[in-house]
């Protein structure tokens, strides 16, 4: 069973608050992995789990009492998808020296966390190209997971413009055509 399939299975079997803790554990593992690769720090599994628990506790302590569950995010600019849909948010991060990191999260029509994933590309990408590659990666995951009824959201206005007019962005054209094909599937 792949990690993707494992997380999808867990999403069906585990309540939202516990699934949020799983997300924190995955994030802690990612941080430990980055420390190993970039800082040559040997991972310590007990410290990784402790970090996840502390991050979750810290996050919850900063939420208003009425929102201390895994429901709607506190960011007022985030909006719920229409009823019956899920929302896929994605973002890319990059370093001019190391590579590019991709992340995505899917929430349901009540704002509850469903699934998240991260990916690292060991190559240097221009920021807009990294965002486009992140979109293609996230859509590919959604297709592989056989998810329907997705609203896709990005904070990169230039990528949104490029998605709607790929011909105006020759350097992104092939990536965006792949994205269009996945959206249409």
- CATH 3.30.420.10, the chain: domain bounds: 81-185
Report, in angstroms and rounded to the nearest whole number, the Rg of the chain calculated over CA atoms. 17
Q: How far is CA 141 from the centre of its chain?
A: 10
Segment 117-154, tens digit of pLDDT:
988 888 878 888 999 999 999 999 999 999 989 999 99
Residue 21 binned pLDDT confidence (cut-offs 50, 70, 90)? confident
Greatest Cα-to-Cα distance within the chain, rounded to the nearest angstrom: 51
Q: How confident is the model at residue 72 (pLDDT cuts 50, 70, 90)?
A: very low
Average pLDDT, the chain: 82
150-153 and 86-94 strand pairing = parallel
User: Using 50, 70 and 90 to split pLDDT, how confident is the model at 29?
Assistant: confident
Q: Give pLDDT, residue 5.
A: 67
Element (H, E) at 92: strand 86-94
pTM above 0.75, yes or no: no
| Banded model confidence at residue 63, pLDDT cuts 50, 70, 90 | low
Q: In what order do the strands lie in the sheet with 100-107?
A: 113-121, 100-107, 86-94, 150-153
pLDDT > 90 fraction of the chain, expressed in percent and rounded:
36
pLDDT of residue 48: 80
Tokens describing residue 29: 């593992």
Cα–Cα distance list, 112 to 34, 87, 109, 147, 172 (Å): 28, 10, 7, 16, 32
Would the pLDDT of 75 be above 70? no
Across 56-83, average pLDDT: 65
Question: What is the torsion angle, in degrees rounded to the nearest 10, for the CA atoms of residue 64, residue 68, residue 70 and residue 71?
Answer: -50
81-185: CATH architecture: 2-Layer Sandwich (3.30)
For residues 2 and 121, the model is more confident at 121
Q: What is the pLDDT of residues 33-62, one digit of tens each?
A: 877 887 788 888 778 877 777 777 776 666
pLDDT in tens, 152-172: 999 889 999 999 999 899 999
Q: How confident is the model at residue 7 (pLDDT cuts 50, 70, 90)?
A: low
């Amino acid at each position: 069973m792949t990690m993707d399939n494992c997380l999808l299975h867990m999403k069906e079997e585990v309540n939202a608050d516990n699934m949020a803790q799983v997300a924190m554990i995955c994030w802690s593992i990612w941080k430990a992995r980055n420390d190993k690769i970039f800082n040559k720090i040997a991972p310590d599994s007990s410290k990784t789990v402790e970090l996840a628990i502390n991050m979750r506790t810290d996050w919850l302590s900063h939420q208003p009492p009425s929102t201390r569950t895994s429901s709607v995010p506190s960011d007022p600019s985030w909006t719920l998808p229409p009823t019956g849909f899920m929302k896929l948010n994605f973002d890319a991060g990059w370093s001019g020296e190391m590579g590019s990191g991709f992340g995505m999260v899917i929430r349901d029509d009540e704002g509850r966390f469903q699934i998240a994933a991260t990916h690292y590309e060991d190559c240097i990408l221009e920021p807009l190209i990294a965002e486009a590659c992140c979109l293609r990666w996230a859509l590919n995951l959604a297709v592989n997971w056989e998810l329907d009824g997705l609203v896709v959201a990005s904070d990169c206005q230039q990528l949104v413009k490029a998605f709607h007019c790929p011909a105006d962005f020759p350097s992104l054209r092939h990536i965006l055509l792949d994205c269009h094909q996945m959206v249409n599937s």
